[in-house]
């Protein structure tokens, strides 16, 4: 009997997922061609079965197929109707095609959003099995060059939570929670929030048990999201009705621009990567948004009439220096020259106990140079001295260099644990 192909979509937002209805595509798409058309089928299903529009979601990952001997009629439909999905192919075996989407808006609909680990108790574990085919991993965090450090720190906490759930049944590729935590702490060394947030979950535990780690990681995601949102809100209060310049793509900055309602925004394209262009497209409509080249950005601060330069931070070093996307330092120099205020907005979890940082060098091909006879320097991040920063805005309020040093000392305990050979 030929199996029924079923698209199963997980929509992710703030560390939780909404499961859309399982969609049988056997009548729409022949089995051999389902993979190529699954995303389109899924977004149509999401629109019909939830309050979410296709423009509000973005496909992140397609998972490997699950051969399911049972039919799909028994699976619960998660939608506004909250009714059981009865299907004429219920008794036939099925092939499950898992998909993961990101929900793009700030305010999700009032539906049942749950931590993915809650799916372990549903449908005899089938939903959890499907989710694990598309879950975030250490490799996916390492490959992600688009997301900012706040977002990637949430992804790291998701990985810690999910791997702990897999360890409960000895299904993880890792042997212990400690191993997962230490791998995560080094996956993006330039992004201090990743190691700080992972370290806070595991550093004070005498015995790292998987179920306990799941609970703590889930709470840590909520705490981190709250800190990021509060920092953005505080920064937003300082840029209302101003002409604001920014660069790169910081989720905290983007949220501050939405909360703060500036009159106009100037955005540098932000190479390597060019994520400033995508950031400009995300800024709330009905506002003047101007994109400029990185080379022109320092000069445009004055010519365009910027009143404030607002940037995020991948790390704030213990001496108050800011590690952020290349282009931040020349922007800071220009802002100082023209008496333009430079505000750094970041959750305090981005404060590092060290003064060292990783510039995260990139391939020379990104700047059109693949010659074997030329040395290429193409860093992702650079250091801006604290003397060029007017204000550090965090969820704890406005910080001076002494407060930054005190928080750096707090965070040193996390790094000490994550770098040690054994848990004491």
180-192: pLDDT as tens digits: 999 999 999 989 9
Within 8 A by CB and 6+ apart from 276, the residues are: 246, 247, 248, 249, 267, 268, 269, 270, 291
Tell me the C-alpha distance between 14 and 175, whole Å.
27
What was the pLDDT predicted at 248?
95
Q: Could you tell me which of 93, 56, 58 has the C-alpha nearest to residue 74?
A: 93
What was the pLDDT predicted at 121?
85
Tell me the C-alpha distance between 80 and 365, whole Å.
48
User: Which tokens belong to 215?
Assistant: 């609970």
Q: Could you tell me which of 121, 140, 162 has the C-alpha nearest to residue 15?
A: 162
Q: Could you tell me which of 386, 318, 324, 392 has the C-alpha nearest to residue 353?
A: 318
Strands (E), 341-396: 341-345, 381-384, 391-394
Where are the domain boundaries for CATH 3.40.50.10470 in the chain? Answer: 228-356+378-419
Computed on alpha carbons and rounded to an integer, the radius of gyration of the chain in Å comes to: 23
Q: What is the dihedral of CA 291, 294, 295, 299, to 10 degrees?
A: 60
What was the pLDDT predicted at 338?
98
Q: Could you tell me which of 13, 84, 21 has the C-alpha nearest to residue 49?
A: 21
330-353: pLDDT as tens digits: 999 999 999 999 999 999 999 999
Other CB atoms within 10 A of residue 329 CB: 16
Q: Is 348:395 a contact under the CB 8 Å cutoff?
A: yes
At CA 370, angle to CA 364 and CA 373, rounded to 5? 110
Is the pLDDT score of 80 beyond 60? Answer: no
Percent of the chain with pLDDT over 90: 65
Report, as an integer, the average pLDDT of 396-401: 97
User: How many residues in total does the chain contain?
Assistant: 424
Q: What residues are paired with 102 via a beta bridge?
A: 12, 58
Q: Is 351:411 a contact under the CB 8 Å cutoff?
A: yes
279-319: pLDDT as tens digits: 999 897 778 999 999 999 999 999 999 999 999 999 999 99
Tell me the C-alpha distance between 66 and 224, whole Å.
33
Q: What is the dihedral of CA 194, 392, 401, 184, to 10 degrees?
A: 0
Tell me the C-alpha distance between 310 and 231, whole Å.
12
Percent of the chain with pLDDT over 70: 88
Q: Could you tell me which of 377, 257, 366 has the C-alpha nearest to residue 312?
A: 257
111-164: pLDDT as tens digits: 889 999 999 988 778 899 999 999 999 999 999 988 889 999 999 999 999 999
Within 8 A by CB and 6+ apart from 63, the residues are: 97, 98, 99, 100, 130, 133, 134
Within 8 A by CB and 6+ apart from 342, the residues are: 308, 309, 311, 331, 332, 335, 336, 388, 389, 390, 391
What was the pLDDT predicted at 88?
45
Report, as an integer, the average pLDDT of 242-261: 95
Burial class (CB in 10 A: 0-12, 13-18, 19+), 207: exposed
Tell me the C-alpha distance between 57 and 54, whole Å.
6
Q: Is 62:38 a contact under the CB 8 Å cutoff?
A: yes
Where are the domain boundaries for CATH 3.90.79.10 in the chain? Answer: 1-127
Q: How far apart are the first and last CA of the chain?
A: 56
348-382: pLDDT as tens digits: 999 999 999 999 888 877 777 776 778 888 899 99
> How sure is the predictor about 77, in pLDDT bands with cuts at 50, 70 and 90?
very low
Q: Tell the residue number behind the tokens 């955005």, with chain if given.
A: 267
What was the pLDDT predicted at 413?
85
CATH superfamily of 1-127: Nucleoside Triphosphate Pyrophosphohydrolase (3.90.79.10)
Q: Could you tell me which of 113, 116, 114 has the C-alpha nearest to residue 136?
A: 116
User: Which tokens belong to 291?
Assistant: 């994109």
Is the pLDDT score of 243 beyond 60? Answer: yes
Q: Could you tell me which of 328, 347, 334, 329 has the C-alpha nearest to residue 392?
A: 347
Architecture of domain 228-356+378-419 in this structure: 3-Layer(aba) Sandwich (3.40)
**Residue 101 phi, psi (nearest 5):** -120, 150
> How sure is the predictor about 420, in pLDDT bands with cuts at 50, 70 and 90?
low
414 vs 17, higher pLDDT: 17
């Amino acid at each position: 009997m030929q199996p029924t192909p079923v698209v199963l979509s997980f929509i992710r937002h703030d560390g939780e997922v909404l499961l859309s209805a399982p969609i049988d595509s056997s009548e729409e798409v022949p089995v051999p061609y389902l993979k190529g058309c699954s995303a389109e089928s899924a977004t149509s299903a999401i629109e019909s079965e939830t309050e979410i529009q296709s423009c509000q979601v973005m496909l992140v990952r397609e998972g490997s197929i699950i051969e399911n001997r049972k039919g799909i009629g028994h699976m619960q439909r998660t939608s506004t109707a909250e009714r059981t999905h009865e299907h004429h192919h219920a008794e036939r075996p099925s092939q499950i095609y898992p998909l993961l989407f990101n929900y793009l808006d700030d305010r999700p609909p009032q539906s049942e959003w749950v931590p993915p680990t809650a799916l372990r108790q549903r449908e005899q574990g089938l939903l959890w099995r499907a989710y694990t085919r598309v879950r975030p991993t250490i490799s996916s965090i390492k490959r992600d060059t688009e997301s900012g450090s706040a977002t990637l720190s949430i992804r790291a906490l998701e990985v810690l939570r999910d791997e702990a759930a897999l360890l409960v049944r000895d299904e993880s590729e890792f042997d212990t929670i400690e191993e997962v935590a230490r791998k995560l702490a080094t996956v993006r060394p330039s992004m201090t929030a990743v190691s700080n947030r992972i370290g806070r979950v595991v550093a004070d535990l005498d015995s790292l048990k998987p179920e306990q780690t799941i609970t703590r990681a889930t709470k840590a995601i909520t705490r981190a999201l709250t800190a990021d949102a509060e920092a953005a809100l505080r920064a937003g209060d300082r840029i209302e009705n101003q002409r604001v310049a920014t660069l790169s793509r910081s989720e905290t900055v983007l949220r501050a621009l939405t909360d703060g309602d500036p009159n106009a925004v100037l955005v540098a394209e932000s190479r390597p990567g060019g994520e400033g262009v995508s950031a400009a497209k995300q800024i709330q409509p009905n506002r003047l948004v101007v994109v400029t080249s990185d080379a022109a950005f320092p000069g445009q601060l004055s010519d365009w009439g910027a009143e404030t330069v607002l940037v995020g931070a991948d790390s704030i070093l213990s001496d108050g220096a800011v590690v952020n996307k290349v282009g931040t330092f020349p922007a800071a120099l220009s802002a100082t020259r023209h008496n333009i205020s430079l505000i750094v907005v970041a959750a305090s979890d981005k404060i590092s106990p060290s003064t060292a940082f990783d510039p995260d060098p990139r391939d020379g091909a990104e700047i059109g140079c693949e010659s074997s006879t030329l040395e290429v320097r193409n860093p992702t991040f650079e250091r801006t001295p604290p003397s060029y920063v007017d204000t550090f805005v965090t969820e704890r309020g406005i910080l001076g260099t002494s407060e930054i040093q005190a928080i750096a000392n707090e965070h040193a305990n996390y790094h000490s644990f994550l770098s040690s050979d054994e848990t004491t």
